[in-house]
Amino acid sequence: MKKMRAMTNLLGCLLLLVVWQAAGAELSESLLATPLQVFVALNDTLLGNAFWAALGSMLWQMSVGYALALLVGVPLGVAMGRLPLVRALVKPWAAMFIVVSAAALVPLFILLLGRGVLLCVAIVFVATVWFVVTTMMEASRSVSPNLLDVARSYGASPLQVFRLVLLPALHPYVLIAARIGLTHALRAMVTAEMFISTGYGGLINDAGLDLSTAPLFGLIVMLMLLSVTATGLLRWVANRTAPWYASRTGDH
Amino acid sequence: MSHLIVTDIHKSFSGTPVLTGQSLQVKDGEFVALLGPSGCGKSTLLQIVNGLIPADRGSVVLNGEDITGRTGKGRGMVFQGSELMPWRSALENVAFGLEVMGIGRAQRTARAREYLHLVGLDGFEHSWPHQLSGGMQQRVGIARAFCIQPSLLLMDEPFGALDVQTRDTLQDELLRIWESEPKMVLFVTHGIEEALYLADRILVYSKRPASVLREIQVPFERPRREDMKMDPRFLELRREISELLRDDAAH
C-alpha cells in the first residue's frame, strides 16, 4: 500500500517533468528552460560559494522567526481553543492578519525595522504565527470532551487534565502546525529577501535578469526540495512519536 | 460496609426537567441496574452520582461522605464507547486512575498488569487501543475502573456499542470479575435481558422526566449462567418489564 503510493507519487513527478520538457523544447531557454538545461545550470550553481552562503544566511534567519512563531503561536492557539475569553479577544487579529501577504508588509517593515536581520525575522514571524495559532486553536477545540470527562471522573485536577489529556492529544497537531508554518515561513523569508535583494531572494532576483531562465528555475527547484525535505522530516517525526494518530489518518 | 444514598435529585437542561426528585440506595456488594428508554435521564442520574454533571438539587452520599458534585473518591466509571486514551498503551490506560491518584510507576504498573490479566488480556500490555477490537477495548475500560479498587462501580451502557456475541461474552466476564471482587454497581442499560441477567435489583424508569415505574428484586441465584435466560421465570419477568415500558411509551 505504502509502496504503491510512493510509486504513484513518483509517476506524478515524472509526468510533470515530461510535460515541462516538452513545453520547454517548444518555447525557448529564455522563456522556459527545460529540466535538462535546469539540471546543468543547477550543477554550476551548487559548485559556487554564493549559493551556499545565501542558503545558510536564509536558513538561520528564517529559523529564528519560525521558532518564535511556534513559541508564541502554539500556546496562544491552545489558549484560544480552550478559553472563550482569549478566543473572543484574539480571533479578530488572527482573521485580519492571516489574509495579509508577507509582500504587503515588507515595505512597511523596512521603514520600521530597516533592511537587516530584524526585518527578515519579523516578516517570517508575522507571516507564520497566525497559521500556527489557527491550527492549534482548531486542534485544541476538537480534543474529545469524552476523554476530558474520563480524566475528570477519575478525579484528575485541572492541571492533571492538562498534562495527561490535553498535551498528549495536541502533540500530533503541534507537528502539523509546525509543518504548515514551515512552508509559510520559507515563502515569507524569500519574499523579504527579494525586496531587499540579499541572500537567497537576492540570488533569485539576479537569476531573473539572466538571459537564460535555467538558473532561476534551478533556484526554485532547490527551494522546493528544501521545503519537501523539511516537511517530510516533520511528518516522519509525527508518525514516529504519535503512531496512534498516524493510524487514524492512514499514514503509517 | 459501603453504601450509596442518593437523595431527591433534581436536574433540568435549559428549562426541560430531566430528573425530578429521584432517590435511590445501593447496599454493600449490590448490583443495581437502571433500566429505561433512551434519553429518559438515567444516564444523567449516573453522571450526577459520578460528579461530572452538577445536580440542581439533592445529595449523593457514599460511605457516609457527602460527595455531591465531586468526582473521583471511590468511584470507577466505565463509559459506553470505552473512551481509552489513544496515546496510551493498554497497560497505561488501565493504570490511568492510579496515576491520577499519584501512585508511583512501579506500583501502578504492577497493579494494572494484574487487572489486565483479570480481563483476559495477557500479552496485550503494550498494544495501542487502535490495535484492539471493540470488545477488547471495553475489557481495558473495565480493567481501568476495577484497577482503582473503587467501592462503587458506575457503568453507562458499557456494552451498548458491541455486537451481540461480544456483549454476551463481556456480560459473563463482568459477572466473573465482579463475583471475585464484589462491590456496589450502578449499571445503566436499555436492555431488559441484560438487566435481568446481571443485576440483583432493577429500577425501571419511565420516559423523561425519569421516575421509577417499578422496582424488581431479581430472584435468580448467583453465580448466574447463560441457561438462566431460558428459565420460565426469566422469560416472564422479561415480558412484564417489556409491557411496562411499552405502556409508558404509549402515554
Quote the radius of gyration of chain A (alpha carbons, Å): 22
In degrees, rounded to 5, the angle at the alpha carbon of residue A213 between the alpha carbons of residues A208 and A218 is: 90
Above 70 in pLDDT, residue A209? yes
Residues A23 and A125 in one domain: no
A136 and A239 together in one domain: yes
Query: Which chain A residues contact residue B99 at CB under 8 A?
Result: 164
Q: Which residues pair with B10 in a beta bridge?
A: B20, B57
Q: For residue A251, name the pLDDT band (cuts at 50, 70, 90).
A: low
Q: Do A149 and B52 touch (CB under 8 A)?
A: yes
Query: Which residue in B has a C-alpha nearest to residue A247's C-alpha?
Result: B130
Nearest-CB residue to A244 (from B86, B99, B101): B86
Residue B83 touches partner A, C-beta closer than 8 Å? yes
> What is the rounded distance in angstroms from the CA atom of residue B196 to the CA atom of residue B217?
9
Both A111 and A8 in a single domain?
no
Q: Does residue A3 share a domain with residue A88? A: no
- Chain-chain contact of B71 with A153 (C-beta, under 8 angstroms): yes
Contact between chains at A150 and B83 (C-beta distance less than 8 A): yes
Under an 8 A CB cutoff, do B96 and A169 touch?
no
- Using one digit for the tens of pLDDT, what is the confidence trace for A128-138? 999 999 999 99
Instruction: Label residue B56 exposed, middle or buried (CB < 10 Å: 0-12, 13-18, 19+).
Output: middle
A154-193 pLDDT, tens digit per residue, is 999 999 999 999 999 999 999 999 999 999 999 999 999 9
Q: What whole-number percentage of chain A has pLDDT above 90?
A: 60
Digit-coded pLDDT (tens) for B24-37: 999 998 999 999 88
> Residue A87's domain spans which residues?
33-249
> Distance from A132 to chain B by nearest Cα, in Å?
23
- Kindly list the residues from chain B whose CB atom is less than 8 angstroms away from the CB atom of residue A144: 83
- Please tell me whether residues A73 and A63 are part of one structural domain: yes
How would you classify the pairing of strands B184-189 and B152-156? parallel
| pLDDT at residue B211 in the model | 84
Average pLDDT value for chain A:
90
Chain B nearest-CA residue for A145: B83
Does residue A24 sit in the same domain as residue A47?
no
Query: Residue B173 pLDDT more than 70?
Result: yes
Strand partners, B153: B76, B185
Q: Are B53 and B11 in contact (CB under 8 A)?
A: yes
- Take residue A4 and report the three cell numbers written for it: 504503491
Question: Looking at the complex, does the CB of residue A251 fall below 8 Å from at least one CB of chain B?
Answer: no
**A150 touches B: beta carbon within 8 Å:** yes
Yes or no, beta carbons of B129 and A164 under 8 Å apart: no
B101 touching A (Cβ < 8 Å):
yes
Report CB contact under 8 Å: A155, B71.
Answer: yes
- If asked whether residues A4 and A85 sit together in one domain, one would say no
Quote the ipTM score: 0.88
pLDDT digits (tens, 9 = 90+) for A23-75: 988 888 888 888 888 898 888 888 888 899 999 999 999 999 999 999 999 99
Residues of B in contact with A162 (CB under 8 A): none
Contact B19, B10 (CB under 8 A): yes
Residues 6+ apart with CB under 8 A from B6: B22, B23, B24, B25, B45, B48, B49, B58, B59, B60, B61
Please determine, for residue B129, whether its predicted confidence score (pLDDT) is greater than 80: yes
Q: Could you tell me if B51 lies within 8 Å of chain A, comparing CB atoms?
A: yes
- Please, what is the average pLDDT of chain B? 89
The model's pLDDT over B220-248, given as tens digits with 9 standing for 90+, comes to 888 888 788 888 888 988 998 888 888 88
Asked if A169 is an interface residue toward chain B (Cβ–Cβ < 8 A), one would say yes
**Which of B47, B53, B77, B87 to probe the A interface (max A CBs under 10 A)?**
B87
Taking the CB of residue B109, how many other CB atoms lie within 10 A of it?
18
Q: Is A160 on the interface with B (CB under 8 A)?
A: yes
Chain A residues within 8 A of B81 when measuring between CB atoms: 146
The CATH code of the domain that includes A143 is 1.10.3720.10
Q: What is the arrangement of strands in the sheet containing B31-35, beginning at the earlier edge strand? A: B75-78, B152-156, B184-189, B31-35, B201-205, B212-217
B71 to A165: CB separation less than 8 angstroms, yes or no? no
Does the beta carbon of A148 lie under 8 angstroms from any beta carbon of chain B? Answer: no
Q: Check whether residue A127 and residue A5 sit in a common domain.
A: no
Same domain, A69 and A123: yes
Question: Do residues A98 and A15 share a domain?
Answer: no
- Give B141→chain A minimum CA distance, Å: 10
State the pLDDT at residue A239: 87
Are the Cβ atoms of A150 and B71 closer than 8 angstroms? no
**Domain check: are A16 and A56 in the same one?**
no
Same domain, A55 and A101: yes
Domain count, chain A: 2
